[in-house]
Structures are given as C-alpha cells and as structure tokens.
Structure 1
Amino acid sequence: MTNIRLDAATEPRVGEELPLEKLNDYLHAAIPGFGNIIKVGQFGGGYSNLTYQLQTADQTYVLRRPPFGAKDIKKGHNMAREYQILSTLHQAGYNKVPQVLLCCEDESLLGFPFYLMEKIEGVILRGKMAHKIQIPAEQMRQLSISLIDALVELHQIDIEQTGLIQLGKPEGYIRRQVEGWSQRYAAAQTDEIPQMEELSSWLIANLPAEGKPSFIHNDFKYDNAILHPESLEISAILDWEMSTVGDPMMDFGTSLSYWCEAGDGDFEKSFNVSWLPGNLTRQEVAEYYSEKSGRDTSNALYFYVFGLFKNAVIMQQIYSRYKKGYTQDERFAMLIWGVQVLAKKAIQALEEDKI
C-alpha cells in the first residue's frame, strides 16, 4: 500500500544536545519508577520548538523544548501553555492528542523549560518525502477528507463547558491577529519585501466580521498529524504551541494556505503532500469544510491570504534567529526566499480573486 517509514528520530544536531545526566536526575525524582534514559534522538522535521525522543529500557517518550533564541519572540514557545492545552483537550475527550506526563518551567534545572509526553508510533507525511509516497489516489482522497474532519471536530468542542475558553480571548481575535503578525514581521524583518507591507495594509483594511469562536490549532496540516502505520487513519495531531480560542475561519485559512496543489511551485510543495493525486483541491476543501461545519466559507480568500501572510512572518522569524546565530541549522538559510514566495503567492491570489 505504501513504502512510508515510521517517523524516526536521529542523532541530535550539534549544539542542540540535551544535558542527559541532569535530565535523568530530574525525571527520576519527578516520576516514581521512571527508567534510566539510555538513548536520545531528535526529530528533525520541524522549524520551531525542538522535539526529542527519550528511550528507556522499556518505554519511549517525547520531550519538547523551545528553540534557541526563543526569548526574542514575545509570548512564543510557551511550554507550560502547550502542556495545559494538551491536558485540557485530553480531558475534553478530543482523543487525537498525546497524553502529557509533566511540565518543568524551572529553567535553572536544565537551562530551558520543557514538557514530557507519551510517544505515539506512526507515520508523518512530510513534504520532503512526497515523491517517495505510494498511496493510491482513492486512499489519499479519504485521508485528506479525514484531516478536514479532524479540524471540524476540533472546532465543534464546547469551549465553555471544557474550560478551553480560558486559554484565549475571542473578542476582536481577527484584528489582534492581523495587527499582531504585522508587528511581529516588523520586529523580525531583515530584508525589504514590498509585498509584505502591501498584504499587511490590505488585511487591516478588509477585516471581516467575527464568527462564533472555537478552539483553534493554528497550524493544522499533514505533517502535524500522526497516522496509523497500517490503516493511515489519524492517530494524533501534534504541535499545539499556537493554538488558542478565536474565529475558526482563521484556523481554516491557515490550513488552506498550506494546502498546495499540483500547479503550485516547488517551494510550497516542499511543505505539504496535499498536491499528490487524490487530494481535495483548495476549493473542494472550502466546500467540504462548509458542509461539515455549517460555517460560511464565501470569504475564504481573506483567510487564505492571511494564512499565507502569517506563514511568511513565521519563516521571517525563524530566518531572523538564524541570521543572529541562534541556530546553525542550514535549512533556515533558505527561508528568506520562502517569505518572498508566499508574499507573491498571496498577492497573486488577490489579483486573481481565487484561493
């Protein structure tokens, strides 16, 4: 059916190793019966928080910590908040999240905050491996539908009853997001990219009315989903650091901005597998989401453009950290070009009035 391998951890990148002796001492004291960590691996697919695999004699865990230079990003990479989100979602019955075990905010122990969670075995469909994926078009179509179903399910959680409402401020969410990401871009800017200024102005000038709030992920895409290694059903959704309470169309727009198609450029395709045969198109995604959620997606273009703009800002922030020498990861060197690509793509979408 497929030649996809389990998502594997490799040797930690130079300069990003964990202080193993201190970590073992802390976990032994914090978790009764915790075994000795005998091997540490690092998951290399992400561009934000650093994620590690910890292996004891009989268990495997996952540790998340902020990237180097994270303190330069206001309110970003909050480990305690992400831990609380996963814990609350699990209690709310959303079964597509890993179970968290502990959170350590005391940076004096290891030099950084972190949290620990269970390891869920499975496969992750990353854009860089798209050409190796052998999934029949019919199964790929069902998988793309299942991904949207999982997003709709998240948006339908009762935020009042579960207490998730406490994790965000829904009033004025769209305006705060547009203005906030514009400010973040200005703070991280390294190059002159006129299209980014144009997009910021357009988004502020065309703010839509707020919809009914829900809990939103804000980075919902294929490579944040763990799939069962045999059935390819969605086992868990990862990377909740940007999740909050707000207008779900903003979440939808971000997902749509990742949803590249066969006619899109190679850069966009490198971040997702949604262009493979069988996947829904962006227009079909909008129609299906509207049908399943009951929400109006007639203004999908605005949210799609916002998603592209936000993703460009995130790349700019990561590139800025690289430029300042906080990380030696050479993948980050190309991201300034990615900012330009996404900005031009958003302008093109506005000119063609098409998602």
Structure 2
Amino acid sequence: MIDPSAPVRRGEELDVAALERYLLAHLPEAQGPLVVEQFPGGFSNLTYLLRLGDRELVLRRPPFGAAIKSAHDMGREHRVLSRLYPVYRKVPRPLLYCEDESVIGAPFYVMERLHGVILRSHSPLLQQLSGEALRAIGVAAIENLAALHAIDYAAAGLGDLGKPEGYVRRQIEGWTKRYRAAQTDEVPALETLIAWLHAHMPAERSAALIHNDYKFDNLMLNPANLTEIIAVLDWEMCTIGDPLMDLGTTLGYWIEPNDPPALQSMLGLTTAPGNLSRREVVECYAAASGRTVDDPLFYYLYGLFKIAVIVQQIYARYRRGFTQDARFARLDIVVNACAQLAVAALEEGEISRLARR
C-alpha cells in the first residue's frame, strides 16, 4: 500500500557521486553510500527517493527543460515548508536547500521521507475499498482543505507569500498568458472558455493560504486509517489568495463517471461508486469552512482551464524535446477533454452529472 519508488527514468538521472558528496558535507550525521530511485507519479517537479546509508530522504528538483522558474522555485517551496511545518504538521519536514546548480544541474531541496498511502487512478487498492470508505476519504479530504484555509498564515510567517488583492484577475490573465506561451494547436473550445472566464470574474471575498494543486494524489493517508490525512504534498504552487479558487482547482481534478474518457484515464480516481459528486464537494466544503460558494460554476471552469494549461505546458515540453517521458506524448487529448467538459458545463449551467461529450 505504501507509495513505491522505481528506477530513475531515462533522461532524468542525477549525478549520484556529486550529490552524495554534497549530502555528506551538509547533513549532520549523514553516512553513505547513496542510492537514488524516483517516484514515478506526478507530472511537474521531479521527486526522488534517496537512500543514504540506512536513512531515507526525498529530493525535489525542477523538471528538465522547464522554462517557468516561478512555477519551479525550489527555494520558495523549501521556505514554505520550513515556516508551515511548526504550525501544520501535515507536511514533510524540510532538511536542506541547495541553490548551487553545479551539484545536480538545478536547485533542489531535501526533506524527510514519510510513509503512507497515496491513492492513484490505477491503484489496485481502489478495487478493495467500499463505496462508504471512498466517501469517507473524500469527506476527510475536503474537510482538510477547509482546515488548511483556516491556517493563520501571517502568524506562520507566510504573509509575504502572495498578494491577495486582485488575485482572481491575476490568475485568469496569468494562466491565459501561460497557455499562449505553451500553445501548440488550435483548441476552439478552450478559446470559448477563456473568453467566458475573462467576462465573468467574481468579486474576491477573503484571503487564505491556498495549496493550488489540492487533489488525492497530493495527499498521503495513514495505512491503518485511510480517512486520516498524514501529509499534504507538492507545495510548489501555494500562495495567499482566494480560497474558492483553490476549491475550483480541486473541483477540476474531481472527475465524475460521465466525464470524458481521457480525463477518467488520467484523473479518474473519483469516478468509483461511493465518491462525492462535485456538487457534494462544494456542499461539504461550505459546511466545513463556513464559506458561502455562490458561483461554483466559475470556480469549476477556472479549475478546468488551469489544469488544461498545466497539461499543455507539459505537452509542449515533450513536443519541444525537453523530456522523453512517454506519458506526455498524448497529453493534447487531455487538454481537449478539459475544454470540451468546460463547454458542456457552460451549456448546462451545472458542475455535476454532465452529459457525456
């Protein structure tokens, strides 16, 4: 049940000798030798398992060929974890940050290795869970999102992490700009979505620490009690902003049984019987957070748009030869599926149980 590591993918190898020397020099009581494997999940920053003597650590570095430094800022991610860990123990404890690119070719940081269950779309464990168990896990995930949004970020020293004023507009404009920079094909449905989002931005109501990529495979669960979240992972996109936009990202990842097959194949963890619907996710979040979600359609469409752009950026790296990861070869289908699902939601004015497109 514990999330396994695997041999390092071709083209994503690290300089093991240089890394071992650095770790032995900078980690107290460290002893070699160093063995490196890779966690194969995830599509953005790369995550490696380090076995340094009898000690297990985790290393994070930017993807090879990434051109967006702000989205892969290892120093920022390390700083967030360092300040968050004392007040929110559901994060790995950071141990070391290295900005010297001569060690492995990019900045990186090292953190403790936690042991837990990460649910993924094709996990055999899903076949063993009852509908009641899946629903309980979903409720726990959404209640934890509300708890995350209740953190006193200023007291944690994270008040300088972002500018909440104008956050919604910056996100719509920023993701549109990122899409244009990574665009490889014409996607008419995505153009419809972009125009609608620009014309229907809601007023901002509050600010919170937001994760910005909150989904099941960024949650680590207690193997003895899967409704207990022991860690929230991958904080590379976190900031201070409108918490309903964070909810929108989660809704975008929350795939239902009628959604396009391409999304079910890549993100279909929530399609199994018993899971909350997207409408129930909104209701659960509102009850747990005390916030009113007047316009879930906007936030859901924003989530789909953001996911489409993230996937397009990854696909563009593949098309331009910066990665050889075969998983990325047909991600254009996922971009199109996000766009088509968004148009269906727009036409029906609903976020759940949309007609298959």
For structure 1, the residue ranges without an aligned partner over 5 or more in a row are none
1:245 — aligned with what?
A: 240
Matched, 1:266 2:261: yes
Matched, 1:335 2:331: yes
Q: CA deviation at 1:228?
A: 1.4
SS of corresponding position for 2:37: strand
Q: Equivalent residues in 2 for 1:51-66 (5 A)?
A: 51-66=47-62
Kept in 2, the 8 Å contact 1:221–1:255? The answer is: yes
1:128 — aligned with what?
A: 122
Distance 1:229 1:147 in 2: 15
Kept in 2, the 8 Å contact 1:130–1:276? The answer is: no
* RMSD between superposed Cα atoms in Å: 1.3
2:230 to 226, 231, 235: 235
Q: CA deviation at 1:130?
A: 6.2
Between Structure 1 and Structure 2, how many residues are aligned?
Answer: 349
Matched, 1:225 2:214: no
Matched, 1:162 2:156: yes
Distance 2:259 2:73 in 1: 34
The one-character-per-residue Cα deviations of 1:122-177 (angstroms, maximum 9, x if unpaired) are 11111132685311121211110100011001100112222222111111000000
Kept in 2, the 8 Å contact 1:40–1:54? The answer is: yes
1:165 counterpart letter in structure 2: G
Distance 1:223-1:188 versus aligned 2 partners, 3 A rule: same
Moved more, 327-336 or 273-282: 273-282
Matched, 1:102 2:124: no
Moved more, 31-40 or 185-194: 31-40
Q: Equivalent residues in 2 for 1:56-205 (5 A)?
A: 56-70=52-66, 72-91=67-86, 93-129=87-123, 133-205=127-199
Kept in 2, the 8 Å contact 1:130–1:273? The answer is: no
1:6 — aligned with what?
A: 2
The one-character-per-residue Cα deviations of 1:243-282 (angstroms, maximum 9, x if unpaired) are 1000000000000111112222332223141111221111
SS of corresponding position for 1:76: helix
Kept in 1, the 8 Å contact 2:221–2:230? The answer is: yes
Distance 2:13 2:69 in 1: 25
SS of corresponding position for 1:285: helix
1:285 — aligned with what?
A: 281
Distance 2:126 2:214 in 1: 22
Q: CA deviation at 1:74?
A: 4.7
The one-character-per-residue Cα deviations of 1:30-89 (angstroms, maximum 9, x if unpaired) are 11211214421101111111100001232111000000111x225220001111111111
Distance 1:98 1:79 in 2: 15
2:41 — aligned with what?
A: 45
TM-score, normalised via structure 1 length: 0.96
Kept in 1, the 8 Å contact 2:143–2:284? The answer is: no
Kept in 2, the 8 Å contact 1:223–1:272? The answer is: no
Moved more, 98-107 or 267-276: 267-276
Q: CA deviation at 1:289?
A: 0.6
2:354 — aligned with what?
A: none
Matched, 1:310 2:337: no
Kept in 2, the 8 Å contact 1:79–1:113? The answer is: yes
Distance 1:46-1:347 versus aligned 2 partners, 3 A rule: same
Percent identity between the two aligned chains: 51
Q: Equivalent residues in 2 for 1:31-42 (5 A)?
A: 31-42=27-38
1:157 counterpart letter in structure 2: I
SS of corresponding position for 1:103: strand
Kept in 2, the 8 Å contact 1:222–1:272? The answer is: no
1:352 — aligned with what?
A: 348
